[in-house]
Structure 1
Amino acid sequence: MSVKSALWHALPTPIQRRLDDRLAKFNDWKEPRPFWGGVLLMLAGLIIGWVPIQFATELAVIGGAFTVIGLVFAVMVFLTGAFVLARPGMSTIFGVLGIALSILSLVGALGGLFVGMLIGIAGGNLCIAWQNPNPEATTTTSSSTPSANEDVQFSWQGDQ
């Protein structure tokens, strides 16, 4: 018996059921999204931001405009990953932006010593290559489009 299964069977049954339910909910949330692409973009943002933060104390004495630029690129790469997870229908746009910002992070953060840049490029490529597993849920029919007399309200939540 492996250590994982031994620990799993040591848990009381109600806790096992609760963990199974939470894992099932997470998998239901994760399935219609480019999950690994978004996670890699967010990780790349953290790695890219690490380099300017490490050099910020040394460059603060002589002035470090590149430090600020590197942090801005790091935040923007991180946000593209978060936006991909929030709006999976726009994963291609955010994937392209994530790749471009990862490459541009060479200017202020050395691309996170090139590691963050490469992870950002891989995450952006996963976002671009992602296909919606349920495309009929996102398509709208002509009967569901509002007429000119109806009020249309913008929703950040989407059609969920």
Structure 2
Amino acid sequence: MSPESTGQNEHHLRAFRRGFRTWRGDRPFWAGLFTMVGGLPIAYFPYANMHLGNITLAMSTTAGAGSLIIGVLLITLGLTMWFHHIVRVFAGVAAILLALISIPVANIGGFLIGFLFALLGGALSISWAPGEPKPDTGGAGAEGRTSEDAGFGTREPGPEFHSAATVPQQQPEEHDTTVEVDGGRHRAG
């Protein structure tokens, strides 16, 4: 091992990080995370007991089962946003509705913590849109890629863009300097 070596496992760590970044970019990652984080306090607080010295504070309500169902559904919707991002709009609307329902049912929406996180996650899920792939400009030129390299010999569909370098420039026309006056043609200038 030389002093310039960065270590044996750094390549694997970089590859994992790059793969995770790609996976995270292809789906509403933060929307799912906020929705799941919002579901945790909604499901937890109705069953929790806080101890303040010798005093035990029970935060359980009569709607403990409803709180648990709302919290579990929010966590499920967060996972749905991650792994089935096609239904992200449905999951976002459902997360917002469950967050609103949690206000009267689950201790003011998990003491507003779960409510705010679930509301934010639902809004992020609705507003998320997949990114456009970067155009491949390596070797294809400005006229678009052809799939001749793949053996098909046809053009791929898509918008065509022409730069000034690929559009032939028209030469300025030479102006005719003859003028017609009284039935005869005379050369001007």
1:74 maps onto 2:68 in alignment: no
Residue 120 of structure 1 and its aligned partner are, at CA, apart by 0.5
Identity among equivalent pairs (%): 26
2:22 aligned residue:
28
1:43 maps onto 2:40 in alignment: no
Higher normalized strand content (fraction of residues) = 2
Q: Which amino acid aligns with 2:105?
A: G
SS in structure 2 at match of 1:14:
coil
Q: Distance in 2 between matches of 1:59 and 1:91?
A: 33
Cα pair distance change 1:107/1:17, threshold 3 Å: same
Measured against aligned partners, the alpha-carbon deviations of 1:106-133 in whole angstroms (never above 9, x if no partner) come to 2331201011101110110000000111
Measured against aligned partners, the alpha-carbon deviations of 1:27-64 in whole angstroms (never above 9, x if no partner) come to 12111100000000000011211211216x9488xxx5
Higher normalized helix content (fraction of residues) = 1
Query: Which ranges in structure 2 are unaligned for 5 or more consecutive residues?
Result: 50-56, 134-189
1:101 aligned residue:
98
Which protein, 1 or 2, shows the higher relative CO under an 8 Å CA cutoff with sep ≥ 6?
A: 1
Q: Distance in 1 between matches of 2:78 and 2:17?
A: 22
Contact residue 44 and residue 116 of structure 1 kept, 8 A: yes
Q: Distance in 2 between matches of 1:40 and 1:59?
A: 23
2:10 aligned residue:
16
Cα pair distance change 1:59/1:43, threshold 3 Å: closer
Q: Which runs of 4+ in 1 moved over 3 A?
A: 57-60
Cα pair distance change 1:123/1:59, threshold 3 Å: closer
SS in structure 1 at match of 2:106:
helix
1:129 aligned residue:
127
RMSD: 2.3
Report which of the two structures shows the higher radius of gyration computed on alpha carbons.
2
Q: Which amino acid aligns with 1:43?
A: V
When the two structures are superposed, what TM-score results if normalisation uses the length of structure 2?
A: 0.59
SS in structure 1 at match of 2:63:
helix
Query: Which ranges in structure 1 are unaligned for 5 or more consecutive residues?
Result: 1-10, 136-160
Measured against aligned partners, the alpha-carbon deviations of 1:65-121 in whole angstroms (never above 9, x if no partner) come to 401111111111111111111111111110000010011112331201011101110
Q: Which amino acid aligns with 2:30?
A: W
The total of aligned residue pairs comes to 122
1:143 aligned residue:
none
